[in-house]
């Protein structure tokens, strides 16, 4: 019995000391759009995971507000290792004659380099808090295109853009306005 208890204790110590290979999943609530030519939703946060769907930019149609077409839009609620969990996907209603359509039901994962949006000029923070160090970027009316999403927590999103890399509080997810 004593040997069994010692073995169990040793196993617990080893398990506690071993680093986890699974990255932490951060919780968030952000609306973004697919910024890639083809946005892939996968069953797990891995390029090797089963492909659940590929979504393309919606072509512009006669009478549409945006003459270039629109990207699919996603609601994300978690991030893990540069991947984002999608819980809702559709094409926004931008006044084009095609109806708003929800084309994906369920959850899946999208790589951060396939997601984007815009932010208005403001402050870029070192962490997901207004108490973290920050720096100003852009002029008040400037719109900054996001190159990729890196992480998220709550309404905060860590982005990579021409202005640099850092955290912003919210993304302008409307593809045809400036969100002021």
Residue 58 lies in a domain: yes
Angle at 26 between CA 20 and CA 30, to 5 degrees: 155
- 76-120 tens-digit pLDDT: 999 999 999 998 877 766 665 555 555 667 899 999 999 988 887
**What is the rounded distance in angstroms from the CA atom of residue 42 to the CA atom of residue 64?**
30
The pLDDT of residue 20 is 39
Confidence band for 175, pLDDT divided at 50, 70 and 90: low
Kindly report whether the global pTM for this prediction surpasses the value 0.95: no
The pLDDT of residue 5 is 37
The pLDDT of residue 66 is 47
The phi and psi torsions of 26 (rounded to 5 degrees) equal: -95, 140
Domain residue limits at 35: 25-169
**What is the rounded distance in angstroms from the CA atom of residue 124 to the CA atom of residue 101?**
34
CA distances from 106 to 28, 41, 92, 99, 102 (A): 17, 10, 18, 21, 11
**Number of domains within the chain:** 1
* Structure-model confidence comparison of residues 10 and 64, the more confident one: 64
Residue 174 lies in a domain: no
Residue 71 lies in a domain: yes
* Structure-model confidence comparison of residues 8 and 141, the more confident one: 141
Q: What is the Cβ-side half-sphere exposure of residue 176, based on CA atoms within 13 angstroms?
A: 15
């Amino acid at each position: 019995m004593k040997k069994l208890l010692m073995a169990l204790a040793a196993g617990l110590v080893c398990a506690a000391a071993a680093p986890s290979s699974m990255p932490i999943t951060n919780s968030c609530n952000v609306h973004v759009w697919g910024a890639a030519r083809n946005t892939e939703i996968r069953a797990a946060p891995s390029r090797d995971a089963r492909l659940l769907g590929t979504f393309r930019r919606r072509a512009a149609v006669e009478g549409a507000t945006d003459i270039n077409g629109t990207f699919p839009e996603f609601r994300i609620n978690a991030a893990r290792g540069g991947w984002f969990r999608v819980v809702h996907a559709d094409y926004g209603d931008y006044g084009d004659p095609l109806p708003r359509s929800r084309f994906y039901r369920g959850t899946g994962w999208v790589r951060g380099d396939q997601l984007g949006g815009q932010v208005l000029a403001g402050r870029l923070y070192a962490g997901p808090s207004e108490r973290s160090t920050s720096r100003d970027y852009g002029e008040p009316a400037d719109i900054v295109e996001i190159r990729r999403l890196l992480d998220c927590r709550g309404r905060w999103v860590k982005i990579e853009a021409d202005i640099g890399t850092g955290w912003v509080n919210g993304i302008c997810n409307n593809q045809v306005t400036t969100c002021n």
